[in-house]
Amino acid sequence: MTLSEMRRWLDSRGIQLTRSLGQNFLHDGNQLRRIAAAADCQPGDSLLEIGPGLGPLTELLIATGFPVLAVEKDQRLVEVLRERFATAANFTLLHDDALEWLKRGSHDWTGWKLVANLPYSVGSPILVELALGPCPPERLVATLQREVIQRIVASPGTEPYGLLSLLLQVRYEPAGTFGIPASCFFPPPDVESSCVTLRRRTPELLSAAELTCFVRVVKLGFSQRRKMMRKQLRAAWPEATLDAGLAAAGIASTARAEDVGLEAFVTLTRHLHAASPTSPPSGPSPV
129 lies in a domain?
Answer: yes
Residue 107 inside a domain? The answer is: yes
**Residue 237 pLDDT more than 80?**
yes
Inter-residue contact 125 to 99 (CB < 8 Å): yes
Backbone angles phi, psi at 222, to 5 degrees: -100, 10
Q: Which residue has the higher pLDDT, 278 or 175?
A: 175
Find out whether 95 and 75 touch, Cβ atoms under 8 Å.
yes
CATH of the domain at 271: 1.10.8.100
- Is 217 part of a structural domain of the chain? yes
Q: Choose the final residue of a domain: 169, 200, 231.
A: 200
Contact 16, 92 (CB under 8 A): no
Residue 245 lies in a domain: yes
* d(C-alpha 168, C-alpha 16), whole Å: 34
Mean pLDDT of the chain: 93
Q: Give yes or no: residues 234 and 124 share one domain.
A: no
Q: Are residues 216 and 167 in the same domain?
A: no
**Position 286 in a domain:** no
User: Is residue 70 one of the residues assigned to a domain?
Assistant: yes
Supply angle C-alpha 11, 17, 21, rounded to 5.
155
Rg (alpha carbons) of the chain, rounded to whole number? 21
Q: Are 33 and 66 part of one and the same domain? A: yes
- How much is the pLDDT for 8? 92
Confidence of residue 283 (pLDDT cuts 50, 70, 90): very low
pLDDT bin (cut points 50, 70, 90) of residue 276 is confident
How would residue 16 be classed by pLDDT, with cut points 50, 70 and 90?
A: confident
230: helix, coil or strand?
helix
Residues 20 and 73: beta-carbon distance below 8 Å: no
Percent pLDDT > 70 in the chain is 95
Total domains present in the chain: 2
CATH of the domain at 193: 3.40.50.150
pLDDT of residue 61: 98
- The confidence band for 156, taking pLDDT boundaries of 50, 70 and 90, is very high
Say whether pLDDT at 154 is over 70: yes
Is the pLDDT confidence value at 225 over 90?
no
- State whether 114 and 137 are in the same domain: yes
**Is the pLDDT score of 48 beyond 80?**
yes
Regarding whether 142 and 215 lie in a shared domain, the answer is no
* End position of a domain, from candidates 156, 172, 200: 200
63 and 165 in a single domain? The answer is: yes
Q: Is the pLDDT score of 98 beyond 60?
A: yes
Q: Would residue 282 count as lying in a domain? A: no
Cross-strand bridge partners of residue 180: 193
Q: What residues make up the domain containing 215? A: 208-275
Q: Which of 221, 206, 38 shows the shortest CA–CA distance to 132? A: 206
- Band of pLDDT at residue 281, cut at 50, 70 and 90: very low
| 45 confidence band (pLDDT: 50, 70, 90) | very high
Same domain as 244, residue 195: no
* 21 and 90 both lie in a single domain: yes
Q: Of 134, 166, 200, which residue is a domain's last? A: 200
Residue 13 to residue 23: CA distance in whole angstroms: 16
**Do 169 and 270 sit in the same domain of this protein?**
no
Tell me the pTM. Answer: 0.93
SS3 (DSSP) at 177: strand
On whether both 184 and 265 belong to a single domain, the answer is no
